[in-house]
Amino acid sequence: MKYEISFLLNNDKVTVEVDPVWTLLYTLREVFGLTGTKEGCGYGECGACTVIIDGQAVNSCIFPILEVEGRHVTTIEGVASKDGTMHPLQKAFVNEGAIQCGFCTPGMIMSAKALLDAKENPTEDEIKDAIEGNLCRCTGYVRIIDAIKSVSKGR
């Protein structure tokens, strides 16, 4: 059986018919064609699928689609300005060398954004807490921490 749900997706109001077994990740990728959100494991352990729902970083691969009704979902595609200018976090990831293969990058940026939206000047430990669930095999995380720090206010 299909259900119709409505939610805010990257600030656009969307209404979509979904199967209740779908995850948010599946719906984003297969229905909306938003492939910036990645599936790294499919069971909530790697963070590649991280999106922000009402300010919280969430693993979209284990998030049931029906739970999204009425909520505000932001994906990596909704992070840059409407004119295409990259968000300061995206610029920092580029400029600080925080990106290698890049598969973890969208999820990593979403986790970092949720943190910085809630707290402008986090400590290094808070940064590490925020991205602990985001696995990266290439960078050794050093430059990722640097990039997030560089965007923190007052640095």
Partner 1 sequence: MDNFTIVGQKIPKIDAPVKATGDALYIQDIKVSGMLHGKILYSKYPHARILKLDTSKAETLPGVRAVVTAADMPPNFRIGVMKDNPPLKSGKTKSIRDEIAAVAAISTEVAEEALSLIEVEYEELPGIFDPIEAMQEGATLIHEEVKSNILKMPWKLVCGDVETAKKDSAHIVEDTFSTQWVTHCCMGTSGCIAQLDASNNLTLYSNTQIPSLAQNDFIEALNAFGYKNRRVRIIQSVIGGGFGSKLDTYAYEYIAILLAIKTRKPVKIIFSREEEFFATSPRQCTITKISQGCDKEGRLTFREIEMILDNGAYTSWGATTPSVMMLPISSLYKVPNIKYVAKCVYTNNTYCQAMRGYGNPQATFAIESSLDQLAEKAGIDPLEFRIRNSNEPGEITPQRFKITSCGMKECIDEVAKRLAWKTKKEHKGNRGVGIASLIHVGGGARVYKSDGCGTIIKMDDFGKVDVFTGASDIGQGSDTVIAQIVAEVLGIPIEDVNVVNNDTDICPWDVGVHASRTTFVAGNAALGAAKKIREQILEAAGKLLEEEPSFLDIKNSIIYSTKDKEKSTPLGKALRKIHYTLGGKMLMAEYFYDPANENFDREFKGNLSVSYAYGAHGVEVEVDKETGQVKILNYIAAHDVGKPINPLLLEGQIYGGGLQGIGYALGEKMIYKNGRLMNGNFLDYKMPTVKDVPPVQAVIVETDEKDGPFGAKGIGEPGLVPTAPAIANAIYDAVGVRIKDLPITPEKILKALKEKQGRT
Residue 106 CB, nearest distance to partner 1 (Å)? Answer: 5
Using CB under 8 A, which of the segments 6-14, 35-43, 65-73, 112-120 binds partner 1?
35-43
Residue ranges in 48-107 that form contacts with partner 1 under rule CB under 8 A:
48, 75-77, 79-80, 86, 90-91, 93-95, 97, 99-106
Q: Which amino acid is it at 79?
A: V
Residue 17 CB, nearest distance to partner 1 (Å)? Answer: 17
Q: Which amino acid is it at 123?
A: T
What strands lie across the sheet with 56-59, from one edge to the other? 12-18, 3-9, 72-74, 50-53, 56-59
Q: What is the chain's percent helix, strand, coil content, to nearest 5? A: 35, 15, 45
Choose, by CB under 8 A, the member of 114, 141, 151, 152 that binds partner 1.
141
Upper half-sphere CA count for residue 95 (Cβ side, 13 Å): 12
Residue ranges binding partner 1 (CB under 8 A): 29, 34-43, 45-46, 48, 75-77, 79-80, 86, 90-91, 93-95, 97, 99-106, 109, 128, 131-145
